[in-house]
Chain A
Amino acid sequence: MSGDRTIPVLALACLLLLVAAALAPQWLVFLLALALAKGLVVLGLVLLMRAGLVSFGQGLYFGLGAYAAALLANRGGLDDAALMIVAGTGCAAALAAILGLLLARYREIFFAMLSLAFSMILYGALVKSSALGSTDGFNLHAREFAGFALAGGTERRLFFAASVVLVFGLVWLLHRYLASHWGRLSVAIRDNELRVEYLGASVYRVVYANYVAAGALAGMGGAFAALAVGHVDPETAYWTTSGEFVFIAILGGTGNVLAPFLSAAIFEGLRTVANQYAPNVWQMSLGLAMLAIIMFLPGGLWTLVRRRSAA
């Protein structure tokens, strides 16, 4: 296990990103911020995948988190980025706590499709609501972060730096969680649920906890993405968005907490490159790249890193 190396790598990555926040060009800061946001959602997915569950409906929480954050600023008048993130995470966690009671009983494709159904119900509700702009969505703008006013120009960098610290703190916590008793129970559940029950642990509780955590992470990711992009729209809850998260998760593999961020960044990069150099066939280029990765890196992108450290 690369467990020992994770913490130092985490710290190093955090440091590098903080440097980037200060020095990198604006477009790179934006790209990294978006990758960070998506990485959070995928991290939640990886949690679930470790327990053997694939959720095709994380868009529900991603979209909810985004809209909750945006509405707080637009209609609630509170355009403090920290509050917006808390709102996004909180709403998503609350909904996950309710839906998880039902969903934790399902497995495999039924879990996937039921989660998809719920995300599409949110999508439908958002599309129907012309007050929320329907498919056009609406823009948002954060003016402060935890009370500190964000000056125009540097606001993105400051905000990105703060989010880096926050996210990596969270990632560290999750890493501890995964190495802990409950984390290992998740893997056991994936292997053989029934035995876990016989051994006395509550499968339902572990799955439920993972689900709520994944929902909360997705909501936080949604709020971050909304703040980075400055716009929310119902597409965030659409099944293709959820599908994208799943694909990033599979690409990265479930080996380590850092894998989602790495593969999110690479996926975003791939898509941008494909769009730039092959605007007429970017889908095909992306598909071919994905196939190549699947064929040559069976454990996901993370095996690239792991191989090097094992050698």
Chain B
Amino acid sequence: MSDLLAVLFDGVVYSSWLFLMAAGLTLIYGVMKILNIAHGSLYALGAYTAATIGGAWLAAGHPPIGSYAMLALAAVLVGVVMGPLLERGLLKWMYGRDEVVLLLVTYAAFLILEDAIKLVWGVESKLLPEPYALPGNFQIGELDFPVYNLILIAVAIVTGVVLAWALHRTRQGKLLLAVIHDREISAALGINVSRVYLVTFSVGAALAALGGALAAPAIAVSPGIGVEVIVLSFAVVVVGGLGSLGGAALGALLVGVVRSLAVRYWPEAELFTIYFVMALVLIARPRGLFSAPEARRI
């Protein structure tokens, strides 16, 4: 029993991390209809920034508890800097073009950022293990688990709740929902779609960076960590339904838990699980789990 509990816990931890990535991506796609391949680079930037400022904080002798604030700060920094940089500096010039072309643009941005990261931080891995080891362990059955994972889950839940509240209860959020639903009518009604785009992209970037910043203490931050994340987040977003936050949460949960079960009970299948889940969900519900019914143009 505690075995299963441990597996589920691991699954939920993975899901939390996936959710942060997917939430940002689904927002960006829902609002701007852009498949943001550069999302992976934003994740990597979050991780690198966190490692750098977290490392600097600790090296300067400040209390280790502050390193958590540094992680959050890293996410915010990336969102605030990269969001406008990419959206205003690059994407704005491409709106109105074919969706596929925008995909190519984000891919080009991804390539550029990968090498930019390499130029700034070099190829050696960056480590920031202190926040991970600091809170110690807790036990499920006989196994030790890092309390840090609980923090990760908590942050994901809080983020989800805050996002949902912001989207459905605040005026700005409802404007965003309106733009997701129908861009043209929203603009016709006087909503500043351009600013909505900027805000959305920055928030999405910050979320991706948060995923990276939270992952940084557990991993070795090195070139290429952004690449795998891209397909994972896309899969979760598609499973959950585009533009749906709840879908992203459910999709992340599904993928994370199934993967964790596979690792424990059927390790050979682990490589396939996410694609199986995605294929199965799409076969059953062709537009993802929580897809809003779309009006068809005749």
A96 within 8 A of B: no
Q: Which of B29, B108, B114, B283 contacts A291 (CB 8 A)?
A: B108
Interface 1/0s, chain B 101-122, versus A by CB < 8 A?
1011101111110111011000
Contact pick for A128, options B105, B110, B268, B296, CB 8 Å: B268
Contacts A106-B286, A110-B288, A298-B97 known; A287 to B110 CB distance under 8 Å?
Answer: yes
Nearest to B298 among chain A residues (CB) is A194
CB distance from B275 to the nearest CB of A (A): 4
With A243-B107, A284-B112 as given contacts, are A54 and B275 in contact (CB-CB < 8 Å)?
no
How many chain B residues touch the partner (CB < 8 A)? Answer: 43
Chain A residues near B29: list those with CB within 8 A. 109
What 0/1 pattern do residues 26 to 40 of A give for CB contact below 8 A with B?
000000000000000
Q: Which residues 100-121 of A have a CB within 8 angstroms of B? A: 102, 105-106, 109-110, 113-114, 116-118, 120-121
For chain A, give the interface size range. Answer: 35 or more
Interface check A250, CB cutoff 8 A = yes
Q: Is B78 an interface residue (CB 8 A)?
A: no
A54 and B100 contact, CB distance less than 8 A: yes
Which B residue sits closest to A298, measured CB to CB?
B97
Residues of A close to B119: CB separation below 8 A: 281
The main secondary structure of chain B at its interface with chain A is helix
A 79-137 contacts with B by CB, 8 A: 102, 105-106, 109-110, 113-114, 116-118, 120-121, 124, 127-128
- A294 interface contact, C-beta 8 A: yes
Chain A: minimal CB distance from B80 (Å): 23
Compute how far the CA of A128 lies from the CA of B270 in the bound complex, rounded to whole angstroms.
11
Query: Hey, what's the 0/1 contact readout for B207-246 against A, CB within 8 Å counting as 1?
Result: 0000000000000000000010001001100100010000
Question: Which A residues touch B97, using CB under 8 A?
Answer: 298
Q: A243-B107, A281-B119, A287-B109 are in contact. Are A113 and B282 (CB under 8 A)?
A: yes
Q: Using a CB-CB cutoff of 8 Å, which residues 244-272 of chain A contact chain B?
A: 246-247, 250-251
Asked whether A15 is an interface residue with its Cβ less than 8 Å from the other chain, the reply is no
Would B275 and A117 count as touching, CB distance under 8 A?
A: yes
Is the Cβ of B108 less than 8 Å from the Cβ of A288?
yes
Q: 7 closest pairs, A vs B, by CB?
A: A287-B111, A284-B115, A287-B112, A124-B271, A287-B108, A117-B275, A290-B108
Whether A49 contacts B100 in the complex (CB less than 8 A), given A109-B242, A110-B287, A288-B112, comes out as: yes
Near A by CB (< 8 A), chain B positions 235-294 give 235, 238, 242, 268, 271-272, 275-276, 278-279, 282-283, 286-288
User: Which chain B residues border A109 with CB–CB below 8 Å?
Assistant: 29, 35, 238, 242
Contacts of B110 in A (CB 8 A): 287
Nearest-neighbour CB distance to chain A for B118, whole angstroms, equals 8
Nearest Cβ in chain B — how far from A46, in angstroms?
Answer: 12
Contacts of B109 on A, CB cut-off 8 Å? 287, 291
Q: How far is the CB of A53 from chain B (nearest CB, A)?
A: 10
Chain B: CB-nearest residue to A281 = B115
Contact B111 A284 (CB under 8 A): yes
Quick check: A124 and B298 within 8 Å, CB to CB? no
- A159–B296 CA distance with the chains assembled, in angstroms: 50
Binding site for B on A (CB under 8 A): 49, 54, 102, 105-106, 109-110, 113-114, 116-118, 120-121, 124, 127-128, 192, 194-195, 239-240, 243, 246-247, 250-251, 280-284, 286-288, 290-291, 294-295, 298
A294 near B104: Cβ-Cβ < 8 Å: yes
Once the chains bind, are A251 and B104 in contact (CB under 8 Å)? yes
CB of A130, distance to nearest CB on chain B (Å)? 12
Query: Given that A109-B242, A250-B100 are contacting pairs, would A194 and B297 also be in contact in the complex, using a CB cutoff of 8 Å?
Result: yes
- Provide the bound-state CA to CA distance between A287 and B282, in Å: 32
A283-B242 contact, Cβ under 8 Å, with A106-B286, A113-B234, A250-B101: no
Given A49-B100, A281-B119, do A110 and B238 touch, yes or no (CB 8 Å)?
yes
Instruction: Contact check, A291 vs B105: say whether CB atoms are below 8 A apart.
Output: yes
Question: Is B272 in contact with A121, judged by CB distance below 8 angstroms?
Answer: yes
Residues from chain B with a CB closer than 8 A to the CB of A295 are: 93
Beyond A116-B231, A127-B271, A283-B114, whether A294 also contacts B108 by CB under 8 A is yes
Q: CA separation between A105 and B282, bound complex, in Å?
A: 11
Residues of B contacting A116 in the complex (Cβ-Cβ under 8 angstroms): 231, 234, 275
Nearest neighbor of A289 in chain B, beta-carbon distance? B108
